[in-house]
Amino acid sequence: MRRVKVAVNGFGTIGKRVAEAVLRQPDMELVGVVKVTPDYGARYAVSRGIKLYTLPDRVEAFRRRGIEVEGTLDELLDRVDVVIDATPGGTGAKYKPLYERKGVKAVFQGGEKPDVAEVSFSTLCNYEEALDRRSVRVVSCNTTGLLRAICTLSRLGRVQSVRATIVRRAADPKEVKRGPVNAIVPDPAQLPSHHAEDVKTVLRDLDIVTAAVVVPTTLMHVHVVYARLSSRVTREDVLSLFEDSPRIVLASASDGIKSTADVVELARDMGRPRYDVPELVVWADSVTVNGDEVMWMQAVHQESIVVPENIDAVRAVMGLARRAADTIRVTDETLGLRRGWLTGGPP
């Protein structure tokens, strides 16, 4: 079987995780990654056997620091079928004409505007819509978390409306210039926050309103979600649905997972690379049902939740899997994602 040749442009928080996920796929080959700074991250990539490419005006800087580069972004694009753009938000749109000129398919991230790609993407909601497209945009981390839960819940009945409050982390762990350090910031102070619109790039007709506040933490986002279904359900229906579904795990406060710090501590104990938790974590204790109304709390690991969707997006645009279930099986097995309970079993 010919493996699809993949490039990753941008080797930061998302790019390095996606690149390492590509390395684990039986039907993909990571040809190289593009880095602009000849720093410890570049040396790390080389130590992992990943081939480095850079921009033409950066080649000399890499050589001066003794870091081998294989060539430029242009040359890398000549050698691949698909590029995963993981550059800072808004930069992908600037690269789009180059990707098109080179005839490579492109997977963009949620920091880009929706019109950067033919379709905004969430595996559990609209995998088939992305099949054979020239470009897709994997929605942001918060939107990915919301969409995984909503599209899973829709298996119990039509989701009529969603109201969600998003408690956002202030920065990623490696960032030193973002805040707040000591405040809670409505972001924005008007309703709805932009997350509702982003959800609607995938579920166009959904009645959804979101509110967001930023808090001083780097350890995950938390959502408080209220959804109304078209029919009555029971708490057991919802819990067993979440327990049986891919990309979602249950956690229990009564079992000691009382905060995002506990989720991260457990991920460390589990030996997860970079303590990543690509699964959406739903607090089982929080799941509350009142007729057709379902409420719950969930945690989103912003650095890793979109990684499986990026891998699925490559399979979709390259036509490597015609059904969502087929890509989910391979992605989740190769990346070691859990189903059921984050702890491995019910408490």
Binding residues vs ligand NAD (CB under 6 A): 9-15, 34, 36-37, 86-89, 91, 109-112, 140-141, 172, 302-303, 306
Comparing CA positions, the residue from 136, 163, 188, 167 lying closest to residue 260 is 167
- At 47, which helix (H) or strand (E)? helix 40-47
- The DSSP call for residue 156 is S
Q: How far apart are CA 301 and CA 141, in angstroms?
A: 8
We find the least distance from the C-beta atom of residue 139 to ligand NAD, in angstroms, to be: 8
CB closer to ligand NAD out of 141 and 330: 141
Minimum CB–partner distance for residue 39 and ligand NAD (Å): 9
Whose Cβ is closer to ligand NAD: residue 18's or residue 238's?
18
- Residue 297 CB, shortest distance to ligand NAD, in Å, is 20
Judged by beta carbon, residue 289 or residue 308, the one nearer ligand NAD is 308
**Least Å distance between CB 303 and ligand NAD?**
5
Amino acid code (one letter) for 180: P
Copy the structure tokens of residue 245: 């579904």
**Strand 135-138 relative to strand 159-169, pairing:** unpaired
Q: Which one of 141, 159, 282, 289 is the catalytic residue?
A: 141
Distance of alpha carbon 167 from the chain centroid: 17
| Side-chain half-sphere CA neighbours of 343 within 13 A | 14
Distance, CA of 220 to CA of 303 (rounded, Å): 8
Which residue, chain included where needed, has tokens 């990543």? 276
Nearer to ligand NAD, 44 or 155 (CB): 44
The one-letter code for the residue type at 274 is: R
Q: Residue 346: phi, psi to the nearest 5? A: -65, 150
Q: Provide, rounded to whole angstroms, the least separation between the CB of residue 186 and ligand NAD.
A: 20
Shortest spacing between CB 12 and ligand NAD, in angstroms: 2
Which lies closer to ligand NAD via its Cβ, residue 9 or residue 152? 9
- By C-alpha distance, which of 53, 92, 99 is closest to 76? 53
Active site residue 141: yes
Indicate the residue among 16 and 133 with the shorter CB distance to ligand NAD.
16
Q: Under a CB-based contact definition with an 8 Å cutoff, are residues 313 and 136 in contact?
A: yes
* Residue at shortest CB range from ligand NAD: 12
Q: How far apart are CA 345 and CA 339, in angstroms?
A: 9
* Active centre residues (catalytic): 141
